[in-house]
């Protein structure tokens, strides 16, 4: 229900279960899992095996190339095993168990992603977060990342760097995501190839298919991935279809050069059903946004997104000698985008170019090792944007024709020192140069106008102290900067808001990482305080058109925790492994100095951000090949508007996957089946914040099922 309530400020972790009473079930669930699993553990003999642990993962972000326990940053890693824990058709559930990360889906294919509450300005997509493919920029100069064009079959691992990463990665206040491609390593002298085919089907017309072929020899590795995904959707006007072809690989060019590349083509279509009021959702959650006396409905206007994108990027590492090296990356992409909406019909043709180059020097010996990295990143976007009237899904009269370009340049430098095996220090700084140029061809005066944003210095300092071989304490302070995106300066309704200013702020955090019982027990706890100024906030006109304003600032206190315990780890026993895990996100986010013409929202809770999210789960693997993955997500209620007069209720999301995998001489077979929303909760996974007419809700599917088969050869 919509619950009017005043926000109560205070210590961020004080009211842990005040708005979701069933969260008190969580400790009991974890204890039950531990008790059941421990009974298996008592029957096994400790044995060293190949089952990996998180402590073995090497972190590449911030140029660390260190294990997680030695990295002075708040980093979460999503591995291949994490991605396979759920339905294999979307990254969403794998990311939503990461503390501080929230991925939302308003309808199949319509995603948005935030880190530490950074979705305030994101009606869709990814903003405030920088995304890379290895060393290749994926976020364009306009600040947009088409994250829904990523197929998880082409991703081997994701690193999520939480908090501002401007010292090395340019414009962001939420954090950085680095995607690593799925490719065989260049090692050994043998020549080998392998393939995999997977079919998935499920409720609401879900059909997924992907095929992958890998090849490697001593100097070349190559991975070709093809995928198709389609769904009829849970609601009216929510059909989707996505086809992706991706080729990535690496090659040794002599003794000093290693070339990496990625090329992909994505063709995606999804319908947009629009938001519902609470009463409409309760009466019929499957309906699309109905017509009103003033506006037609989503179905009438055939509201949808059409996106065709081609992307190519290469990155070359050149080793001059044992101490000096250079990595240079180049990317180019082109997107053709159509969006018939309720109030208009928009088309965009976007051309993007990017270049990133860094020099790295490594010096010192033994315990006094140090590394210095310096370079620059340049991004350029040119967009042809046209608006028309929408007559039942067809273009009508011309409203606006615009030509807009954006350019960003970020020089950066960072040093890292290792001192006496116990202390690691990172210090870096960058600055930024950003500008927009725009011209409206439909105006009488169509002269080109330029908007240059003031440059800011973005420092970061981080230190890690090894308290013991299994316990580390780290702290950091960093400044973030995020200019308005093209979609904010020129939103879909056509107005140009050249007065928008960048948002910026300081983040300070401290954390504790541990790894005990020979890697069986691992945890990571972080507390932070982020103060954002000139926050960019989404507003909506009476006709439903969105626009953006700078709204004072936010104060964001938070705590994030992750724990996993490998109760059983024995490669020769009937039960090979049992792992229980849990994560918690606790937020005390509020506006400060946020005033509009007639309202003062200072002290109100940050719109669209849940006060707490707690997840737990168990992963079980047996020697015969049977496996079970189960997880429970408890999300508290969250404010739907800046005034905090309406709240979306909390929900409990139970998911499970059961499968069997068997390897034969030259091929393998896997069968799996699973369920999502097993408790049949009526909830909205992606609310339209500050929506006109109280149309906040985008209902998620009720209880649904999927199953599939994977053949490897």
pLDDT value of residue 101: 95
Q: At residue 231, does pLDDT exceed 90?
A: yes
pLDDT value of residue 673: 98
pLDDT value of residue 291: 94
Closest CA to 95 of 103, 104, 85: 103
Pairing of strands 626-635, 704-712: unpaired
Pairing of strands 704-712, 668-676: antiparallel
Q: Which helix (H) or strand (E) holds 563?
A: strand 553-569
pLDDT value of residue 660: 97
pLDDT value of residue 282: 96
Number of neighbouring beta carbons within 10 Å of residue 394: 12
Give residue 42's pLDDT band: very low, low, confident or very high (50, 70, 90).
very low
Q: Is 54 helix (H, G, I), strand (E, B) or coil?
A: helix
The per-residue pLDDT for range 621-646, each reduced to its tens digit, is 999 999 999 999 999 999 999 999 99
Q: At residue 185, does pLDDT exceed 90?
A: no
Q: At residue 343, does pLDDT exceed 60?
A: yes
Backbone CA torsion sign across 281, 284, 287, 290: negative
**% of the chain residues with pLDDT over 70:** 90
Give residue 692's pLDDT band: very low, low, confident or very high (50, 70, 90).
confident
Give residue 540's pLDDT band: very low, low, confident or very high (50, 70, 90).
confident
Q: Which residue has the higher pLDDT, 616 or 118?
A: 616
Q: At residue 401, does pLDDT exceed 70?
A: yes
- CA of 235: how far to CAs of 116, 286, 287, 682, in Å? 29, 4, 6, 13
Q: What angle do CA 546, 230, 662 make, to 5 degrees?
A: 130
pLDDT value of residue 72: 94
Q: Which residue has the higher pLDDT, 300 or 33?
A: 300
Q: At residue 153, does pLDDT exceed 80?
A: yes
Pairwise CA distance, residues 154 & 318, whole Å: 26
What is the three-state SS of 264-314? EEEEEEEECCCCECHHHHHHCCCCCCCCCCCCCCCCCCCCEEEEEEEEEEE
Distance, C-alpha 40 to centroid of its chain: 36
For residues 511 and 526, is the Cβ–Cβ distance under 8 A?
Answer: yes
pLDDT value of residue 420: 80
**Average pLDDT over the chain, rounded to whole?**
89
Pairwise CA distance, residues 580 & 583, whole Å: 11
pLDDT value of residue 546: 76
**Rounded mean pLDDT, 463-480:** 96
Q: At residue 17, does pLDDT exceed 50?
A: no
The per-residue pLDDT for range 567-610, each reduced to its tens digit, is 999 888 999 999 999 999 999 999 988 887 788 999 999 999 99
Pairwise CA distance, residues 653 & 586, whole Å: 18
pLDDT value of residue 547: 82
Q: At residue 477, does pLDDT exceed 50?
A: yes
pLDDT value of residue 690: 87
**Rounded mean pLDDT, 35-56:** 45
- CA of 384: how far to CAs of 155, 167, 349, 399, 497, in Å? 31, 32, 5, 14, 17
pLDDT value of residue 535: 86
Question: Which residues, other chains included, contact 153 with Cβ-Cβ below 8 Å and sequence gap of 6+?
Answer: 88, 182, 198, 210, 212, 225, 227
- CA of 341: how far to CAs of 109, 334, 493, in Å? 16, 22, 10
Pairwise CA distance, residues 399 & 493, whole Å: 10
Q: At residue 41, does pLDDT exceed 50?
A: no
- CA of 111: how far to CAs of 471, 515, 626, 707, in Å? 37, 34, 32, 23
Q: At residue 25, does pLDDT exceed 80?
A: no
Closest CA to 415 of 473, 463, 356: 463
Distance, C-alpha 189 to centroid of its chain: 37
Q: In whole angstroms, how large is the CA radius of gyration of the chain? A: 25
- CA of 177: how far to CAs of 75, 144, 238, 311, 525, in Å? 10, 13, 28, 18, 20
The per-residue pLDDT for range 264-292, each reduced to its tens digit, is 999 999 999 999 999 999 999 999 999 99
CATH architecture, domain 21-712: Beta Barrel (2.40)
The structure tokens 């895990």 sit at: 581
Q: At residue 38, does pLDDT exceed 60?
A: no
Q: At residue 700, does pLDDT exceed 90?
A: yes
pLDDT value of residue 488: 86
Pairwise CA distance, residues 712 & 197, whole Å: 6
Number of neighbouring beta carbons within 10 Å of residue 667: 13
**Rounded mean pLDDT, 486-508:** 87
**Rounded mean pLDDT, 90-96:** 94
Q: At residue 364, does pLDDT exceed 60?
A: yes
Q: Which residue has the higher pLDDT, 23 or 679?
A: 679
Q: At residue 655, does pLDDT exceed 90?
A: yes
**Rounded mean pLDDT, 415-444:** 92
Q: What angle do CA 312, 318, 323 make, to 5 degrees?
A: 145
For residues 658 and 621, is the Cβ–Cβ distance under 8 A?
Answer: no
| DSSP-assigned letter for residue 256 | T
Give residue 53's pLDDT band: very low, low, confident or very high (50, 70, 90).
low
Q: At residue 40, does pLDDT exceed 50?
A: no
Pairwise CA distance, residues 315 & 324, whole Å: 17
pLDDT value of residue 187: 63
pLDDT value of residue 52: 53
What is the three-state SS of 213-229? EEEEECCEEEEEEEEEE
Pairwise CA distance, residues 189 & 219, whole Å: 9
pLDDT value of residue 12: 34
Give residue 115's pLDDT band: very low, low, confident or very high (50, 70, 90).
very high
Number of neighbouring beta carbons within 10 Å of residue 473: 15
Q: Tell me the two tokens of residue 107.
A: 């309808």
- CA of 257: how far to CAs of 116, 132, 253, 260, 328, in Å? 38, 21, 5, 10, 11
Q: Worst-scoring range by mean pLDDT, 32-41, 250-259, 625-634, 679-688?
A: 32-41
Q: Tell me the two tokens of residue 379.
A: 């991004």
Pairwise CA distance, residues 352 & 334, whole Å: 6
pLDDT value of residue 14: 38
pTM for this entry: 0.90
Closest CA to 70 of 81, 88, 58, 82: 58
- CA of 230: how far to CAs of 211, 242, 245, 415, in Å? 15, 6, 15, 47
**Rounded mean pLDDT, 320-340:** 96
For the chain, helix (H) and strand (E) counts, in that order, are 6, 38
Residue 42, phi-psi category: left (phi > 0), alpha (psi -120 to 50), beta (remainder): alpha
Q: At residue 149, does pLDDT exceed 50?
A: yes
For residues 190 and 215, is the Cβ–Cβ distance under 8 A?
Answer: no
């Amino acid at each position: 229900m919509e619950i009017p309530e005043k926000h109560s400020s205070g210590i961020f972790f004080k009211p842990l279960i005040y708005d979701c009473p069933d969260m008190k079930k969580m400790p009991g669930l974890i204890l039950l899992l531990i008790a059941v699993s421990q009974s298996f553990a008592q029957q096994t003999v400790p044995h060293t095996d190949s089952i990996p642990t998180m402590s073995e993962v090497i972190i590449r972000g911030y140029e660390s190339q260190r294990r997680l326990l030695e990295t002075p940053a708040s980093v979460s890693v999503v591995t291949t095993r994490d991605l396979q824990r759920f339905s294999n058709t979307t990254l969403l559930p794998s990311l939503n168990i990461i503390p501080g990360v929230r991925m939302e889906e308003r309808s199949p294919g319509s995603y948005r992603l935030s880190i530490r509450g950074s979705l305030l300005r994101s009606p869709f997509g990814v903003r405030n977060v920088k995304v890379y493919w290895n060393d290749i920029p994926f976020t364009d100069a306009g600040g947009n990342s088409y994250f829904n064009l990523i197929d998880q079959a082409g991703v081997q691992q994701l690193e999520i760097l939480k908090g501002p990463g401007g010292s090395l990665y340019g414009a962001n206040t939420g954090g950085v995501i680095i995607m690593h491609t799925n490719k065989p390593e260049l090692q050994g002298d043998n020549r080998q190839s392998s393939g995999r085919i997977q079919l998935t089907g499920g409720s609401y017309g879900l059909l997924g298919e992907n095929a992958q072929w890998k090849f490697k020899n001593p100097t070349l590795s190559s991975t070709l991935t093809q995928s198709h995904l389609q769904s009829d959707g849970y609601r009216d006007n929510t059909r989707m279809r996505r086809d992706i072809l991706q080729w990535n690989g690496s090659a040794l060019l002599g003794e000093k050069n290693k070339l990496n590349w990625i090329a992909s083509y994505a063709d995606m279509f999804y319908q947009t059903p629009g938001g519902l009021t609470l009463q409409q959702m309760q009466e019929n959650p499957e309906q699309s946004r109905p017509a009103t006396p003033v506006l037609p409905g989503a179905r009438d206007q055939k509201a949808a997104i059409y996106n065709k994108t081609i992307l190519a990027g290469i990155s070359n590492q050149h080793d001059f000698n044992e101490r000096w090296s250079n990595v240079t990356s180049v990317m180019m992409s082109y997107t053709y985008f159509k969006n018939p909406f309720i109030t208009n019909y928009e088309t965009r043709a976007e051309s993007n170019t990017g270049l990133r180059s860094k020099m790295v020097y490594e010096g010192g010996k033994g315990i006094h090792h140090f590394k210095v990295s310096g370079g620059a990143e340049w991004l350029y976007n040119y967009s042809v944007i046209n608006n028309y009237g929408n007559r039942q899904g067809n273009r009508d009269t011309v409203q606006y024709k615009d030509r807009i370009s954006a350019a960003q340049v970020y020089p950066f430098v960072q040093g890292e020192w290792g001192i006496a095996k116990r202390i690691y220090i990172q210090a870096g700084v960058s600055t930024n140069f950003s500008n927009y140029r725009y011209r409206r061809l439909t105006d009488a005066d169509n002269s080109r106008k330029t908007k240059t944003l003031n440059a800011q210095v973005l420092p970061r300092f981080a230190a890690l102290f090894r308290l013991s071989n299994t316990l580390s304490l780290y702290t950091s302070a960093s400044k973030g900067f995020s200019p308005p995106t093209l979609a904010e300066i020129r939103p879909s309704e056509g107005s140009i808001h050249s007065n928008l200013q960048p948002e910026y702020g300081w983040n300070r955090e401290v954390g504790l990482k541990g790894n005990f019982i020979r890697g069986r027990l691992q945890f990571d706890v972080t507390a932070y305080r982020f103060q954002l100024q000139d926050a960019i906030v989404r507003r909506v006109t009476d006709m439903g058109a969105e626009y953006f304003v700078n709204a004072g600032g936010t104060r964001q206190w938070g705590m994030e925790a992750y724990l996993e315990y490998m109760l059983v780890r024995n490669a020769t026993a009937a039960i090979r492994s049992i792992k229980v895990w849990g994560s918690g996100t606790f937020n005390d986010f509020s506006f400060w100095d946020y005033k509009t013409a007639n309202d003062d929202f200072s002290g109100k809770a940050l719109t669209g951000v849940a006060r707490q999210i707690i997840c737990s789960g168990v992963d079980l693997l047996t020697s015969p090949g049977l496996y079970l993955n189960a997880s429970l997500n408890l999300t508290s209620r969250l404010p739907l508007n800046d005034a905090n007069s309406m709240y979306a209720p909390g929900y409990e999301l139970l998911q499970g996957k059961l499968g069997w995998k068997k390897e034969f001489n030259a091929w393998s077979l896997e069968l799996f089946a699973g369920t999502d929303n097993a408790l049949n909760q009526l909830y909205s996974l992606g609310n339209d914040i500050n929506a006109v007419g109280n149309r906040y809700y985008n209902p998620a599917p009720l209880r649904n099922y999927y199953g599939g088969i994977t053949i490897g050869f």
